Amino acid sequence: MSLLLHLKGRSLLTLNDLSDAELAALVERAQELKAERRTGRRGNRLAHRHLALLFEKHSTRTRCAAAVAAADEGGCTEYLGAQDSHLGGKESVADTARVLGRLFDGILFRGYAHATVEQLARHAGVPVWNGLTDAAHPTQALADLLTIREVFGALKGLTLAYCGDGRNNVAYSLMLAAAKTGMHFVDCTPPALAPAEDRVAAARDIAGGNGGSVRVVADPREGVAQANVVYTDVWASMGEEDAFEERVRLLAPYRVDMALMQATGGLDGGRAIFLHCLPALHDRNTAVTRERGALEVTDDVFEAPFSRVFEQAENRLHTMKALFLATLGSQP
């Protein structure tokens, strides 16, 4: 609890904004808050706190997790979608930040350029949380860590293999999350989508200090060997719709199917799980997959007992609450 007191008033733009110990404490706190909520307990630790949800892109989980987390603790949220505010039109990021910062106690931003969330944080004067940019998705990674911790009881020493677009927001945040918690991270991706070398080198340094490692592997079967967690995400992120056909061509060998899950060697002993940040394009669940079949994950994996994707989605709520309480609450 005492470590979390240091988070008061701070922003979260990437996981680099948290020390390794603060990250671990936040995830642990989220697990306690989840248990508290299961008993029916709701708090008042965000009473009279107003949160702006400033979103340039669509969202189901991030928006709703934030709204429910705040309401559970007596806080209020105001949603501003792409069509709702003057941001990006008549008003600059800096001016919007200065206005919202005078009205609200915190701002959750989802959008395109990472520079936008940095500018908001620079000018708002209140905590700004990154609810996804093109470069990072740190609040997702908090929920991912909580989900893995719940299943395996700890994080250090586990192997997390991410298969897909190896340099998208989710991949980068997971890489950092794994490094900061002493996990072994494997980015299974084709050379054309390999993560930036400087970001890999930085994560590798952090991982090394925690007994973990970071590898980039082009062969998906080799990459998932011994993995405790196989993780995938959509092949074309929001804003990359034009790249869709090329991604399908590049990433088809990285589809997570039962054979790839078997290649972990951990299915039989319950030592391997499947995660996906969602939304997922599995067999025939959307117009796109009705036409083409499964993209990044097949139905048999998505629906398997070792798939923890809905616990993972629920954990967005508990981790978001932990973040709001630590940075803004009357108590963490």
Per the residue annotation, which of 119, 123, 187, 277 is the catalytic one? Answer: 277
Per the residue annotation, which of 110, 149, 282, 318 is the catalytic one? Answer: 110
Per the residue annotation, which of 140, 144, 149, 188 is the catalytic one? Answer: 140
The listed partner (ligand NVA, ligand CP, none) that binds 168, CB under 5 to 8 Å by sort, is ligand NVA
Least distance in angstroms from the C-beta of 208 to ligand NVA: 27
- Distance from the Cα of residue 247 to its chain's centroid: 21
The listed partner (ligand NVA, ligand CP, none) that binds 189, CB under 5 to 8 Å by sort, is none
Instruction: Based on the residue annotation, tell me whether 137 is a catalytic residue of this protein.
Output: yes
- Compute the chain's Rg from CA coordinates: 19
Instruction: Based on the residue annotation, tell me whether 140 is a catalytic residue of this protein.
Output: yes
Instruction: Based on the residue annotation, tell me whether 316 is a catalytic residue of this protein.
Output: yes
The listed partner (ligand NVA, ligand CP, none) that binds 233, CB under 5 to 8 Å by sort, is ligand NVA
Of 96 and 140, the one with the shorter C-beta distance to ligand CP is: 140
Query: What residues line the site for ligand NVA (CB under 6 A)?
Result: 132, 168-170, 233-234, 237-238, 277
Of 11 and 168, the one with the shorter C-beta distance to ligand NVA is: 168
The listed partner (ligand NVA, ligand CP, none) that binds 60, CB under 5 to 8 Å by sort, is ligand CP
Query: What residues line the site for ligand CP (CB under 6 A)?
Result: 59-62, 132, 140, 277-278
Instruction: Based on the residue annotation, tell me whether 277 is a catalytic residue of this protein.
Output: yes
Per the residue annotation, which of 137, 149, 276, 282 is the catalytic one? Answer: 137
Of 206 and 323, the one with the shorter C-beta distance to ligand CP is: 323
Least distance in angstroms from the C-beta of 262 to ligand CP: 26
Of 126 and 147, the one with the shorter C-beta distance to ligand NVA is: 147
> 324 with 26: CB under 8 angstroms?
no
Per the residue annotation, which of 134, 233, 276, 312 is the catalytic one? Answer: 233
Instruction: Based on the residue annotation, tell me whether 163 is a catalytic residue of this protein.
Output: no
Least distance in angstroms from the C-beta of 269 to ligand CP: 29
Which residues does the annotation mark as catalytic?
A: 110, 137, 140, 233, 277, 316
